[in-house]
Structure 1
């Protein structure tokens, strides 16, 4: 699944599932203690969230089928019912999300396919491209915004020092790993910020070309507000 967009193949799989039929088949599987007709529904093609819930239901069915003692059967039956409800909820939730994305898509689309750089430096950047229009009859307008974040080079004294000093190669490997995690945080924040800006009715003409991400005053790191470019900066 994309960071903010459901891929087309997953949308097709979701659209092919009738929620009433799903609930009927889930109930049938619980009573019969096997997946049965659930195999016929394209649940595994609906993305990792739904696939995970389906796997949990499969495990619950196996445990309930293998349970023998009455007390154990009662416990596994409760777990099985809960797994069935979780699967039904997951499909309904993803269908609602898909409907919201399709509604959004009439006025804007944010490209979430962003490839990380080969190597990271202390200055990180993420470029988010988008298209938008004020009404469904207008022509599409293209734009982009680049989010920049300068990683604080000061060491983190809250982390205990290793007993043996790692090699230069190991230190660089660890540095690149931390920078990648920070870049991923920046990317996620950037994507959600642009999406939420448009979803709240924001004007694409007012999006800046670049934005310096703000940092938490205490941790000196990114937080949930770092990429909200429309907020008044201190």
Structure 2
């Protein structure tokens, strides 16, 4: 999933980029109105975040290149430089994330390759596997935690009389879509919760084997604090 661990292909691409060289090539591209030598860098292999900023920069360069009047060219040139700054910042941010991950992997490793079930029931569960060791320890210890959540379906049909009531198959399809979306949210939150627990100095031996997530008290759905298993709901939201 790439939530906790950047794929190796992205790490290799980010490591191959020198930030000073990138900045120089961005400046050159802005001056010339085209990417020119920027293609030398593996930016398209650095993940979705960098890829989106690269696309925005390409489009900004195109608009600058096609501008006719002096005023319009000046405006589009400024926009291109802003987009170039965003691209440079994105690469820098991802390189910082990569450095953080490499440091954390010395003592904690979380498996974020979690496959969804074939079908979803209203009682969802996500198991997160992890390994950890102390700063001065050689041997790794392993563990896992299951996050459980019973979904309260959110979808509501238009209260006005429908021309045709959705078929049972269509209703089942809509329910599966909602359950699938909720499972993805639960998985993301569960992974981040385990990561944040370790970042706050927690030890794997203190992680429970199971945790019933705490839904929002107003609507019964997941919120930002639902999977924080080491704090009570009141202290988690403080």
**Normalising TM by the smaller chain, what interval?**
over 0.9
Asked if residue 85 in structure 1 is aligned to residue 96 in structure 2, the reply is no
Shift of 1:114: 0.5
Question: Which residue number corresponds to residue 133 of structure 1?
Answer: 133
Q: How does 1:107-122 map to 2 (within 5 A)?
A: 107-122=107-122
Return the alpha-carbon distance in structure 2 between the equivalents of residues 160 and 90 of structure 1: 41
Whole-Å Cα distance in 2 between the matches of residues 228 and 177 of structure 1? 25
- Secondary structure at the aligned position of 1:3 is classed as coil
- For the residue of structure 2 that corresponds to 1:175, the secondary structure is helix
CA shift at 1:186, angstroms?
Answer: 0.7
- 1:161 corresponds to: 159
Please give the root-mean-square deviation of Cα atoms over the aligned residues, in Å.
Answer: 1.5
Matched, 1:97 2:102: no
CA distance in 2, matches of 1:12, 1:190: 27
1:125-173, Cα deviation, whole Å (9 max, x unpaired): 00000111112532111111000001125x666x633613100000000
TM-score (norm 1): 0.95
* Total equivalences in the alignment: 232
- Helix, strand or coil for the counterpart of 1:96? helix
Confirm or deny that 1:151 pairs with 2:137.
Answer: no
1:226 aligns with 2:226: yes
Structure 2: unaligned runs, 5 residues or longer = none
Q: In the alignment, is the contact (CA less than 8 A) between 1:106 and 1:136 conserved in 2?
A: no
Could you list the structure 1 runs, at least 4 aligned residues long, displaced by more than 6 angstroms after superposition: none
Unaligned runs of 5+ in 1: none
Deviations 1:64-89 (A, max 9, x none): 01111112112211110101100000
Displacement after TM superposition at 1:233 (Å): 5.8
Q: 2:189 is matched with which residue?
A: 189
SS at match of 1:68: coil
